[in-house]
Structure 1
Amino acid sequence: MKFLHTADWHVGKVLRGRSRFDEHVKVLDELVGVALEEDVDAVIVAGDVFDGAVPTPPSQALVMRTLMALQEGGREVVVLAGNHDDPRLLDDVYRPVLRQLGIRVIGRFRRPDAGGLLSWTARTGEPVRLAAMPFLSQRYVVRALEALTGTPDQHNRDYAHRFARLAEALTEGFRADTVNLIAAHGTLPGGRLGGGEREAQTIFSYYFESAAFPPSAHYAALGHLHRRQRMPGPCPIWYSGSPIAVDFGEERNTPGALVVEASPGRPADVREVTLESARVLRTVTGTLGELEAMADGLGDAWLRVVVAEKPRAGLADDVREVLPNALTVDVDEAFRPTASRRRTAVTGADAPTPRELFRAYLDHKGHEDERVVALFDRLYDELDEREG
């Protein structure tokens, strides 16, 4: 059988105040085109279809339209909840409706006999088993009492251990004569970050080990890290990466997806597919004159601009006059006044984020403890999710 592995769409993403909706329309249309051209038997969307827990109606309409287009022709489509998605929305709203159309949606972990282990027969005739493992928050996998009494290292081990137990339960139904697949959303140690992932949910306390996946699996389709990459393990394990560069930390990523061929008795064959519909993200540096000289060669790229001049009133406005696609404007560190070099934003630039302010405070106080930073990141993300 042949299937398409994709993840981390982040529909609804707003980058420095600019909507990416039109880009997402083009990118997801291109993704549907890949599924049709390759004539895949199935599509796995391994989490983070939305960028936030409360997606806008246009974002929901685009995702719904894309999933239905992917399913045309009788393809199996499987969608997991990621850490950006609201599992209740996927389970309680999307799941009952889309199941009538042949699209399987999994928002929360389920028992193997209650939708955690999916079974179907591919159009090519092979029986398929897929263990579905949506994102699992640490506060659910590690009980509250243990969180109050245990150490951080114990919590990390507990998360990885319990994830492995869940994987074991979900994959017990794998057989020698079936195509055995795993779809999961989370972080493996050693994975290279794309640059736009949520910090609090890519730290050590959310790691699980590749040993959780059994050798009987022909392929593990992962989401969460935005850089496309293969991970070491007892079976072929891949992150598909995001089909769109989500933030400037990902400007060197190659957006795309994976086309996978699998059959009983042999490891899967994986082929990378590049998607080119989204606008490029670029960081450019120079004086105002140098930036103006390079403007014609930048096309429609979204820009992060670093100005090699001393800060002054109106500098950001002058930059945006010659580079209208400049989303952020910063002054090169070498040109900042000494007292402000620790700041991440300067006159005319975007205000520092709460994370940046907290790190600057710790730096000012002389505190260097990554555990405190990680706890702040987790708290901030949980509040962000709650407020939608």
Structure 2
Amino acid sequence: MRILHTSDWHVGKVLKGQSRAADHIAALRALVDVATAERPDLVIVAGDLYDTATPNAESTLIVTRGLSALRKAGADVVVIGGNHDNGRALDALRPWADAAGITIRGAIGKPEEHLLSGTTRDGEQWRLVALPFLSQRYAVRASEMFDLSAAEITQSYAGYVGDLIARLAQGYGADTVNLLTAHLTVIGATMGGGEREAHTIMGYAVPSTVFPSSVHYAALGHLHRAQSVSGPCPIRYSGSPLPIDFGEEENFASAAIVDVTASTAARVRELPLPVATPLRTVRGTLEQLATLDTGEAWLRVYVQEPPRAGLREEVQALLPKSLEVRIDPKLMPGPGAGKAEHARAGRSAGELFADYLGQRGHADEATVALFHRLHDEVMHS
């Protein structure tokens, strides 16, 4: 059978106030093109369809249209909830999804609901353990957590996940293609740069040994970088279909196509996906920035100029797609700055403010003058 594995869409993501809706529509259209060309038997979306637990109407429309289009391409579609998703809200879509031929498992329910089965066009039987993101609060009862050390909590979470997978895997068949999808962090995998750190490290990381050797392919979501992970079975993160923020600009946007049978090892092809609006970090003086051709990319700019009022606006006039403008860290004062502070006693607010700016490398006459004007307005109003 053939599987299209994708995850971490993060529809609804706003980057420094800029909507990514057009980029997400383009990314999902590219996924549908892959499904149309590759004709998978099964599409697995391994969590984090949304960037927020309270998606707006536009985001819901983008996701539901994307899932419907994948289904219309001829494949079975299975979706699990991620840590950014509201699992219960996803499950509320199940009547619609069932009617559309899409299977959703947004949150942990009865164990028997998380072992799915199906048949390919060629009559091949498959079974899939579908495990949405599992919060530590759910996995480890609060009364237990108060009595456990951090290491013991980690062990308890990993143990619960492993026990749940082992229980569900008992439903695998000897002559079926046995699959697993989950939204979690595996120890040894590499973060992509934009994940929610609290849900990727410490108590939320599990060893690859939680996956039984009877799994023919484990399709994971949560980490945004496409990668395989060593373990007792083939384990892979598909990565996000587009970079989520500037920490991921070097990530390779892709989806995974997997060919596997009950008696042969999984063969994975990583298919690149076009990114409608790339993310790019640039550095330089105003003069250097003025010479750059950055195309349609959204920009993070490290400007190599002394801090002053209006500098951001000057950069954005040169590079209108600058979403983030920072002073290059190399120009910031070192840890020894500010040791020679003047005494506060007997000094005006304006003098103190000017010293404060100077100690932090932001000395600028225009900013000080603006402070004096605002301070006078407040004091005499």
- Aligned partners of 2:271 and 2:247: how far apart in 1? 21
Partner of 1:251: 249
Partner of 1:20: 20
Deviations 1:317-359 (A, max 9, x none): 1000000011111111222244599x99989xxxxxxxxxxxx
Aligned to 1:182, what secondary structure does the other structure show? strand
- Residue 102 of structure 1 pairs with residue 98 of structure 2: no
- Aligned partners of 2:78 and 2:111: how far apart in 1? 15
- Aligned partners of 2:140 and 2:110: how far apart in 1? 18
Pairs within 5 Å for 1:203-222: 203-222=201-220
TM-score, normalization by structure 1: 0.85
Pairs within 5 Å for 1:314-333: 314-333=310-329
Partner of 1:137: 135
Alpha-carbon RMSD across the aligned residues, in angstroms, is 1.9
Partner of 1:29: 29
Partner of 1:379: none
Partner of 2:153: 155
How much has 1:104 moved relative to structure 2?
A: 0.2
Task: Select which of 310, 316, 328 maps to 2:306.
Answer: 310
- Residue 199 of structure 1 pairs with residue 197 of structure 2: yes
- Aligned partners of 1:345 and 1:107: how far apart in 2? 49
Contact 2:307 2:361 in 1 (8 A): no
Residues 4 and 311 (structure 1), Cα distance of their counterparts in 2 relative to 1, 3 Å cut: same
How much has 1:16 moved relative to structure 2?
A: 0.5
Contact 2:115 2:129 in 1 (8 A): yes
- Aligned partners of 2:361 and 2:279: how far apart in 1? 19
Show structure 2 runs of 5+ residues with no match: 339-355, 364-381
Number of equivalences: 343
How much has 1:95 moved relative to structure 2?
A: 1.2
Task: Show structure 1 runs of 4+ deviating over 6 A.
Answer: 343-347
Partner of 2:80: 80
Residues 235 and 100 (structure 1), Cα distance of their counterparts in 2 relative to 1, 3 Å cut: same
- The letter for the 2-side match of 1:279 is T
Larger Rg: 2
Partner of 2:260: 262
Contact 2:306 2:362 in 1 (8 A): no
- The letter for the 1-side match of 2:81 is A
Partner of 2:168: 170
Contact 2:10 2:48 in 1 (8 A): yes
Contact 1:176 1:265 in 2 (8 A): no
- The letter for the 1-side match of 2:93 is Y
How much has 1:308 moved relative to structure 2?
A: 1.0
Contact 1:330 1:345 in 2 (8 A): no
Partner of 2:369: none
- Aligned partners of 1:247 and 1:151: how far apart in 2? 34
How much has 1:245 moved relative to structure 2?
A: 0.2
Partner of 2:377: none
- The letter for the 1-side match of 2:107 is R
- Aligned partners of 1:111 and 1:263: how far apart in 2? 28
- Percent identity, aligned pairs only, is 49
Aligned to 2:302, what secondary structure does the other structure show? strand
- The letter for the 2-side match of 1:335 is L
- Aligned partners of 2:172 and 2:162: how far apart in 1? 16
How much has 1:73 moved relative to structure 2?
A: 4.8
- Aligned partners of 2:183 and 2:330: how far apart in 1? 40
TM-score, normalization by structure 2: 0.87
